[in-house]
């Protein structure tokens, strides 16, 4: 591993005072050097696999066998599971993807109990990280390879390149940044990353006027960040009657589900922009990119890992249209192997991975467990919220922000904030619409609130779901 290969990851994860000190120097580094050789090599590998299904299949199989060999040799925890399933004469060189089914599906509980016995390399070679707990689930600590950032960014930038974004483009970023206090604290220009960081909370109309001035100054044409924040930014633009002077070429959403009503709202303000949507996890076990021109259709990358859909009994889902849980075996970071790891996310099968399609699983209706895209009806059934939400932006007139809140089956509160021209009649119009579409399975009430914020960094969850959705 070369120093330049991990420079970007180190910079992004460093404390603020460190980033401020080295920004001027890093901004002078040529783009190719800034991302490093590992990044360039992986971009080439991803491109070749994308154009050659046979090569993708071969690389997929080789990576799977290398992972199993490493886990068996270096991890006492995985060695025990593999020997129990395959016997003490295990030979990774003949391992096939279908052999994974002989190993158990693992969740956070099993890996938490295994502790450092799950590691395949010494702990000092890895970085410790954590996922935040949710749905009454405690936080989960795990370990990642130190050089994963350059490889990870190769997959991310490959996804973004499909809508025209590249390493030299600037972007306006709406995430949970901790910016400096005072007027200038609304935004922060990072020349090293070519990123205009914008505060996502509270994001008033006056704030957005300042944001647009900064976006115009740098001729930024890509918006990056939480879909909920980008949606609110567009609502504020509509109130101002103003959009970026150079136009917006693409949207780069992260960290939250992107809903159909958000796409519609964003396009109604910015025009027919493209969306560079991808699916990934902190544990680095699976990576999928939305197929351009096919909103909601995701294709998993075979170089990143093996992705399976399994039913409630951990059996493979093989019938197109059926829903299953997403189980991942990751190739990107292998110091702590994740083999048949239950992500808790759901998807509906479109196409199974095969050697002929380069081992590319395709799914629709991707529903993350941490940010569930559904409400629970009176009879305990899941109601997909995108089926209820109006696509016509006019139905949102007068409403600056809203959110569904649920803590009892069948009962949903619409929390809302009106804009300057809004009235309670606007909220009643939305309530009537979703009530009619739910056909009695849900009862909606409304509640005006001074602010809507959920989670860290000012994320505005579309659904504040307090029920344990795994029970339904």
Give pLDDT tens digits for 241-289.
999 999 999 999 988 888 888 899 999 999 999 999 999 999 999 999 9
User: How would residue 5 be classed by pLDDT, with cut points 50, 70 and 90?
Assistant: very low
User: How would residue 1 be classed by pLDDT, with cut points 50, 70 and 90?
Assistant: very low
**pLDDT tens-digit series, residues 327-358:** 999 999 999 999 999 998 999 999 999 999 99
* 75-85: average pLDDT: 97
Which has the closest alpha carbon to 296: 279, 313, 284? 279
User: How would residue 116 be classed by pLDDT, with cut points 50, 70 and 90?
Assistant: very high
According to DSSP, residue 362 is labeled: E
Predicted TM-score (pTM) above 0.85? no
State the SS3 of 46-92: HHHHHHCHHHHHHHHHHHHHHHHHHHHHHCHHHHHHHHHHHCCCCCH
pLDDT of residue 90: 95
**pLDDT tens-digit series, residues 135-186:** 446 678 999 999 898 999 999 999 999 999 999 999 999 986 555 544 457 8
Query: Which CA distances in Å does 105 have to 3, 247, 278, 328, 349?
Result: 36, 47, 24, 9, 19
Higher pLDDT, 24 or 384: 384
pLDDT of residue 331: 98
Domains with residue ranges and CATH for the chain? 163-275 (3.40.50), 374-471 (3.30.300.30)
* 27-53: average pLDDT: 81
Place of tokens 């990774």: 92
pLDDT of residue 308: 98
Give percent above pLDDT 90 in the chain. 60
């Amino acid at each position: 591993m070369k120093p330049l290969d991990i420079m970007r990851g180190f910079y992004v994860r460093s404390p603020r005072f460190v980033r401020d000190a080295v920004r001027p120097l890093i901004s002078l580094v040529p783009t190719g050097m800034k991302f490093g050789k590992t990044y360039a090599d992986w971009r080439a590998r991803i491109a070749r696999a994308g154009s050659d299904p046979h090569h993708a299949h071969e690389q997929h199989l080789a990576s799977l066998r290398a992972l199993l060999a490493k886990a068996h040799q270096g991890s006492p925890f995985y060695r025990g599971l593999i020997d129990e399933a395959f016997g003490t004469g295990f030979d990774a060189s003949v391992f096939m993807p279908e052999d994974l089914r002989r190993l158990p599906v693992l969740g956070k509980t099993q890996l938490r109990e295994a502790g450092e016995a799950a590691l395949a390399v010494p702990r000092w070679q890895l970085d410790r990280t954590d996922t935040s707990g949710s749905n009454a689930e405690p936080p989960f600590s795990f370990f990642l390879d130190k050089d994963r950032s350059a490889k990870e960014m190769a997959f991310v930038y490959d996804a973004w390149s499909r809508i025209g974004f590249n390493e030299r483009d600037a972007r306006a970023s709406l995430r949970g940044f901790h910016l400096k206090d005072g007027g200038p604290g609304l935004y922060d220009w990072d020349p090293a990353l070519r990123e205009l960081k914008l505060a996502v909370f509270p994001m008033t109309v006056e704030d957005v006027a300042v944001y647009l001035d900064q976006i115009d100054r740098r001729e930024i044409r890509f918006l990056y960040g939480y879909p909920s924040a980008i949606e609110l930014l567009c609502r504020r633009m509509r109130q101002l009657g103003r959009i970026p002077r150079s136009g917006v070429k693409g949207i780069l959403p992260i960290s939250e589900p992107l809903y159909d009503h958000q796409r519609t709202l964003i396009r109604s303000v910015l025009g027919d922009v493209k969306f560079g949507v991808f699916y990934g996890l902190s544990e680095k076990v699976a990576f999928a990119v939305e197929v351009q021109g096919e909103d909601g259709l995701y294709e998993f990358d075979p170089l990143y890992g093996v992705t399976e859909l399994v039913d409630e009994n951990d059996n493979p889902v093989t019938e197109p249209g059926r829903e299953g849980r997403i189980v991942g075996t990751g190739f990107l970071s292998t110091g702590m192997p994740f083999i048949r790891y239950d992500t808790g996310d759901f998807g509906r099968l479109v196409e199974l991975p095969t050697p002929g399609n380069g081992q590319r699983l395709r799914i629709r209706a991707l529903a993350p467990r941490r940010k569930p895209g559904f409400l629970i009806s009176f009879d305990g059934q899941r109601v997909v919220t995108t089926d209820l939400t109006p696509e016509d932006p006019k139905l949102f007139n007068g409403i600056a922000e809203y959110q569904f809140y649920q803590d009892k089956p069948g009962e949903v509160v619409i929390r809302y904030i009106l804009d300057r021209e809004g009235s309670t009649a606007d909220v009643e119009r939305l309530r009537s619409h979703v009530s009619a579409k739910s056909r009695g399975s849900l009862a909606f009430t409304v509640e005006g609130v001074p602010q809507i914020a959920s989670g860290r960094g000012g994320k505005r969850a579309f659904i504040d779901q307090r029920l344990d959705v795994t029970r339904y």
